[in-house]
Amino acid sequence: MAEPPAMFLKGPYDPLIIERAEGPWLYDRGGRRILDAGAGAVVVNIGQGREEIARLAAEEIARVNYVVPIWDTPARARLAERLARWTPPGLNRFFFTSGGSEAVEAAIKFALMYHKVKGRPGKRKIISRWFSYHGNTLGALSVGGNRGRRADYEHVLFDWPHIPPSYCYRCPWGKTYPGCAIECASALEDEIRKQGADSIAAFIAEPMMGATGGAVPPVKEYWPQIAEICRRNDILLIADEVMTGFGRTGKRFAVEHWELKPDLLIGGKGLTGGYMPMGMLAVDERLALECEGLGAEFMFYTYSSHPLACAIADRVLEIMEREQLVEHAAELGARLGAQLKEELSGHPMVGDIRGTGLFWGLELVRDRDARTPYAPHLRVASRVIGAAIAHGLFVYPSVGMAGEAGGDGVLVTPPFVIGAAEVDYIVRNLRSALDDVHAQLG
């Protein structure tokens, strides 16, 4: 088997070749067992190796392999009906993609199309936030706020505005909650005023920052104020729930923590639990009907609504309901968070521990009091992951939260099928990994 190209090896450890997986466990070709506490790329919500899914896949492929996405299939109809019970009320028009990046592109395109057909073609800018990550296509990178991932493409990205996020640990205004006047929300109003409301089509953000920020929840006032600002300025609100959706934060979607109804909601990752590539865009039916009434057409991707992907997504959500895995994520996530804080909050490398459900992040710092990040060239997040793997544990990297100064962290986002014993295992071995790296760094 060919090794991955050297240019893509980012960590100080050998690439793994995983031969099989079961539940939350990975097994490499040497037979070593690794607990996947990152759920892959925060994907494997229902665990691996479910024979029920394998049987379903064989049956679906035998029934129908592919149809043009303008046609319907029973699997697609079942999925849309089930999703309408999962998404916020009214967001019941769905567009399916091959993954999260495509779904972000679809959301951007819908927002631009909507304003154009409504007679507002000047609304062509998308406001987003620094430190967020929205995907790997040029449009998604344009709204993304991870400077490292944007760096090689800045010369071709859309020149769209960004604002700072709600991020109390590194408040961009140097203030402390609650005496901060929620400037992270008023920053959106300020940027709209600067750009002109008649030029802004949408605001896109993750409800809780993921891959770059490291599971950063906003202050409780943030999202209600953001939603009110968008409504008042006729700007569509796009919630990117590719990472936080489908139970990851202990709610079906993270927006439920604030009883928030966005205009568009993006999903992926946990939608199929990693058994098939798939993403989705949920649109408020009112907006979709307005576009259709004005003759607008939204072009599909070749693999939009693929019958097998739809069938697997529907079954994954059925399993989530049957086994009450969202509720389990909330209950066990509270235990995981409590143990992470109890065992690791005093570690010399750990500056902050934050999260909810089975969505937790640890920010790693050189100086806890000054919150000074490690120098980027040290690749501390990669070192911690390498050390964790040596202890039979995988956690997901998070980098860039300190902006130009770098920033390192890890996400602890295990599959929903773990129990108390696996929580103990995660915390114990993550502690050992941090101890190992701290000793190396001196």
Q: Which CATH superfamily is domain 6-50+324-441 in?
A: Aspartate Aminotransferase, domain 1 (3.90.1150.10)
Give CA–CA dist 47/21, Å, rounded: 9
Give CA–CA dist 381/374, Å, rounded: 10
Name the 3-class secondary structure at 438.
helix
Question: Which of 254, 258, 235, 232 is closest to 243 using CA atoms?
Answer: 254
Question: pLDDT value at position 297?
Answer: 86
- Token pair 């896109």 is found at 204
Question: pLDDT value at position 7?
Answer: 39
Identical fold for domains 6-50+324-441 and 53-322, yes or no, is: no
Four-residue CA torsion sign, 56, 61, 63, 65: positive
pLDDT in tens, the chain (442 residues): 344 444 333 555 567 899 999 999 999 998 999 999 999 999 999 999 999 999 999 999 999 999 999 999 999 999 999 999 999 999 999 999 999 999 999 999 999 999 999 999 999 999 999 999 999 999 999 999 988 899 999 999 999 999 999 999 999 999 999 999 999 999 999 999 999 999 999 999 999 999 888 999 999 999 999 999 999 999 999 999 999 999 999 999 999 999 999 999 999 999 999 999 999 999 999 999 999 999 998 889 999 999 999 999 999 999 999 999 999 999 999 999 999 999 999 999 999 999 999 999 999 999 999 999 999 999 999 999 999 999 999 999 999 999 889 999 999 999 999 999 999 999 999 999 999 999 999 7
Token reading at 50: 């479910």
Question: pLDDT value at position 20?
Answer: 96
Question: Which of 240, 246, 319, 310 is closest to 278 using CA atoms?
Answer: 310
Indicate the domain borders of the chain. Answer: 6-50+324-441, 53-322
Question: pLDDT value at position 14?
Answer: 67
Question: Which of 410, 416, 415 is closest to 430 using CA atoms?
Answer: 410
Name the 3-class secondary structure at 359.
strand
Fold of 53-322: Aspartate Aminotransferase; domain 2 (3.40.640)
Q: Check whether the bond before 178 is cis (ω within 30° of 0).
A: yes
pTM for the model: 0.95
